[in-house]
Structure 1
Amino acid sequence: MTQQEVTSDAHVSEAPRRKGLASRALGSGMWSMANFGLGQIMRLGSNLILTRILSPDDFGLMALVTSFLIGLSMFSDMGFGPSIMQSKRGDEPDFLDTIWTLKIIRGFLICLAAMVMAWPLAVFYDAPLFGWVFPVAATSMIVGGFLPTRIDTAARHLQIGRLTVIELANQLIGILITIAAALILESVWALVWGNVLGAFAQLLMFRLFLPGHRNRFRMEPKARAEVMKFGKWIFFSTICGFLLFQGDRIILGRVLTLHQLGIYNIGLFLATVPAMLGSSIGGRLFIPMYREHPPTAGEDHRRALARTRAGLTALLLSVAVVLAWVGPPLVDLLYDARYVSAGGVLVAIVCIQMLQVIPISYEYSALAAGDSRGFFIMQSSRAVIYFTLVAAGAFLYGLPGLLIGQALSQVFCYPVTVWLARRHGCWDPRHDLIATLVALAAAVTALAGHREAIVGALFS
């Protein structure tokens, strides 16, 4: 057989695999969009009902509780999900059972840490109720530790359909529980018990209706060593991620009243839809794509990734632009007069988010390649830049200073993201330039059009 025939056969055998991956990636992306879209509609409906039953102070306190729960979760994250998605042993029962056992241990440790931290934090924020609410809310982390690894297995193989249906059903059940609790309790405890009981419902649904490997307690030394080797950099990265994604609320808890923090959180809830959509689709779509189609393997791979990246960016910017243009009227329509200031907050934050979503696909190239160290370097650099600028701005000028710090951090963090993208051969400067010009034009028009609402929200 000639070299030409060998090459031809290789291309023939490669074509169905590329087609199969493209089909699964498209299906995964569509299911992820459906999951996010329907989930956001349910969250919005729940939010509208709960804001009419509970007070801004309740939402402010729960925002603090949620931020610290996410912080404890991130501070103990060893990258169990990415380990399953990228490891060659990701389908082996011993590997999966070891991860499941480690997750359970982690859940108990998080709850214990919450009990220790509760009262010191209550004193720090001058919020006595925090000391009672935080430990109870943390019990949901124990329940979450028992979630089966077949959730990550489904994501590994881009089999998202059934997973999406179950997740949406879980979310609906949790919302109904929370609303019922709010009608009965009419206090922040409704949000707490809704979270805890919703976690139990989620565990039951996944165990009953998601097929796959049934986990058992096991601790295989080889599997544990692999997870720890990959996860040690994920651990440090998620600590940085906490500062990036929750640092604003931790800082504002000292700068604003709980009432003001509750209003900020409503604006943030709507403004972060594009970034949350990007994370929801990106993680499930790009890690498998980068793993099976590394950009350094050929021009065809780079083109396929570029098309997918451009499509995701167009979707995210479209959502962000709509929110920026209709922000204050949307808040006026959806919420009562107590939350009117959230409209200006929404516009300011979503304009900043436009810059954040443009390079969102690059970070997954490192996780797909198992380069958790490179991912950590990027996250730690971004965290230092972000937290320094945001904290300085908040303590000097309050909420306006915090938002200015967020905007500047997006500019200074971009070179770090580019460094990681170039390291894995996936940087697309043409994509970034076009998207940035579109984002800046949209942001300028939105800020000018809603100037009065923004000034009223930030300086009142």
Structure 2
Amino acid sequence: MELSQNVIKGLKVGAMLRLVAQIFTWLNTLILIRLLTPDDYGLMAMTMAFIGIFALMGDFGIGKAIIQAEELTTRRLRQAFTINIVSCLVFFSIFFSIAPVIASFFDEPRVTILVQAVACQHLIMIFHTLPYAMASRKMLFKEREKVQFYTTLMTSIVTITMAASGLGVWSLILGHLFMRLALTVGYNLIAPCWIRPALSFEGFSKMAGFSGVATINDVLRFFINIFGSISIGRLLTKAELGVFSVTINLANLPSEKIGELLNHLGLSSFAKLQNERAVAGQYLHKSVQLASLVLFPMYLGICAISPELIILVLSDKWAAAIIPFQILCLTSPFRMLSEMMATGITAIGEPGKNSKTLLLTILTLPAFFYGIQYGVAGACWAWLGINLISFAFHLKLILPVFELKASSLLGAIFPSLCSSIIMLVGLLLLREQLTGQVHEATQMFLMILAGVLLFCATQLLLFRRQLFTTIKYLRH
């Protein structure tokens, strides 16, 4: 009961701070998109395509291993710190050296210096991993969310200032490094962990094994997520890569902070229940049901108003992003739910199950090459199919560990999904009636209002009992 209360309290406090931070993030992103060009975003996508994979390996999974460990001694922390230092220095050296090779792959010389600059994040990560992990392990949700909030605010101001000064893609690069540095300072303030490196690694094998598998999983998942950008960057134009990069970033924006919060809570909370699988399964069921109540209406609603949203907020120069953005909005809820299941299975000490789902998903990636023949929109349709198949893999392989049936979890998301589909169809019909009759801004406002009313009415008329049960989860 105490764990449940801590989790819900952390969720409430974190959600409020994340909501405000999300508003800043949205404003920051939308302003940057207006200030920068598709070429700028294309260069950023090329820069992060490969180095982003190994940024996840910078601490060799030590952070997750610390959070998940049942017992943690000073000796283990010193051993973990040593591994973290070595791995961060190695990856910094590697990427600083091979930056010209990455630039050659994309046939874009400017990528060399950009990759070398971003490689500096590995030096910052030396002092980030342990305090971040300890803040999560101690479940310092409120303090951690304050760090995230102030970092988001400061990063937004710094990045927009640089973009407005004409720094182009460098505003994104330097903004990324500033964010890493600010988070490191913040976590060291709330959960300082200053220890000496260790020279002996006796007894570290169990933690090393877990961290190794967790790191491989992070790399596999990132590779899956970045595969589209790599393929488009190689086979299509830099501008088309910029469109794809912006649309996928926009599609991830609404759930980015929510997902990050749920994953942080999930990793530390499920780790406390690794010896109580059935109880952990109940938490997973409730978490998915709560997330579905937010994710499906939010994303399908955004899908409906995308034409007005893109033109009014981003301007006509991003009109090519409308259809890809709509497709990716259909994709994001299933991707988020898959990541929640992956976080849960990792936290209870079975990251190998997650590895299997990711490897099976990688086998479906060639479908992307078929879709890309039809441009960015075709690539997005392929991405939707890949994510639906991946979601099915997660249901099949992960749920049995939690003593849950796939039918039970699908039943948890069905009310929200069904109501959201009804809302989407209603809004598309409403657009046909409003187009040309009112101003685009007025049309978007009316569609948002109609969407909220239609979703709420459907929930109350068809799924009243499930709705009230889901809302009660926030109080227990």
TM-score, scaled to structure 1: 0.84
User: Contact 2:118 / 2:173 at 8 angstroms: preserved in 1?
Assistant: yes
CA displacement, residues 237-284 of structure 1 (integer Å, 9 cap, x when unaligned)? 223112222111111112332222222222212212355345313322
Cα distance change of structure 1 residues 252 and 111 upon mapping to structure 2, 3 Å threshold: same
Q: Matches of residues 304-319 of structure 1 in structure 2 within 5 Å?
A: 304-319=283-298
Instruction: Quote the Cα distance in structure 1 between the aligned partners of 2:22 and 2:79.
Output: 33
Which residues of 2 match residues 2-401 of structure 1 at below 5 A?
18=1, 20-75=2-57, 78-90=60-72, 92-147=73-128, 149-207=130-188, 209-222=189-202, 224-277=204-257, 279-293=259-273, 302-385=281-364, 387-394=365-372, 396-401=373-378
Among the aligned pairs, what percent are the same residue?
Answer: 16
The partner residue of 2:409 within 410, 427, 431 is 431
Provide the rounded CA distance (Å) in 2 between the counterparts of 1:309 and 1:62: 33
Rounded to whole Å, the distance in 2 between the matches of 1:117 and 1:297 is: 44
1:397 corresponds to which letter in structure 2?
A: Y
Show the counterpart of 1:402: 379
**Pairwise CA RMSD of aligned residues?**
2.8
Please state whether the residue corresponding to 1:221 is helix, strand or coil. Answer: coil
Cα distance, 1:105–1:185 mapped onto 2, change above 3 Å: farther
* Structure 1 residue 76, shift from structure 2 partner: 5.3
Structure 2: runs of 5+ lacking an equivalent? 433-476
User: How far apart are residue 185 of structure 1 and its match?
Assistant: 4.1
Distance 1:178 1:411, change over 3 A: closer
CA deviation vs aligned residue, 1:337-395 (integer Å, no higher than 9, x gap): 2122223222110112233334443223321221122221222222222x22223432x
Contact map agreement 1:39 1:171 (CA 8 A) in 2: yes
Q: 1:323 to 1:147 in 2, by over 3 A?
A: same
Cα distance change of structure 1 residues 423 and 114 upon mapping to structure 2, 3 Å threshold: same
How high is the TM-score relative to the length of structure 2?
0.81
Any unmatched runs of 5+ in structure 1? 1-17, 453-460
| Structure 2 counterpart SS, 1:272 | helix
Larger mean Cα displacement after TM superposition, 138-147 or 350-359: 350-359
C-alpha contact 1:231 1:372 (8 A) present in aligned 2: no
Structure 1 250/159 Cα, relative in aligned 2: closer, same or farther at 3 Å? same
Of 272-281 and 20-29, more deviation after overlay is shown by 272-281
For residues 90 and 274 of structure 2, the distance between their equivalents in structure 1, rounded to whole angstroms, comes to 37
Q: CA–CA distance in 2 between the matches of 1:121 and 1:273?
A: 27
Q: Which amino acid aligns with 2:334?
A: L
Q: Match of 1:9? A: none
Q: Relative to 1, partners in 2 of residues 1:389 and 1:303: Cα closer, same or farther, differing over 3 Å?
A: same
Contact persistence 1:158–1:284 (CA under 8 A):
no
Q: In the alignment, residue 402 of structure 2 is paired with which amino acid?
A: H
Letter in 2 for 1:308: S
Q: Deviations over 1:389-447 (max 9, x none)?
A: 223432x3332332222222233223421222113323452331452575377458748
Aligned to 2:437: none
2:138 partner amino acid: H
Output the amino acid matched with 2:217. Answer: S
Between the aligned partners of 1:278 and 1:36, the Cα distance in structure 2 is 7
Structure 2 CA distance for aligned equivalents of residues 400 and 180 of structure 1 = 33
Q: Is the 8 A contact 2:41 2:245 kept in 1?
A: yes
User: Aligned equivalents of 1:355 and 1:193: distance in 2?
Assistant: 32
Judging changes above 3 Å, is the alpha-carbon distance between structure 1 residues 403 and 75 closer, same or farther for their aligned structure 2 residues? same
Change in 2 beyond 3 A, CA 1:47/1:230: same
Say if 2:135 and 2:144, in contact at 8 Å, map to a contact too.
yes
Distance 1:406 1:265 in 2: 13
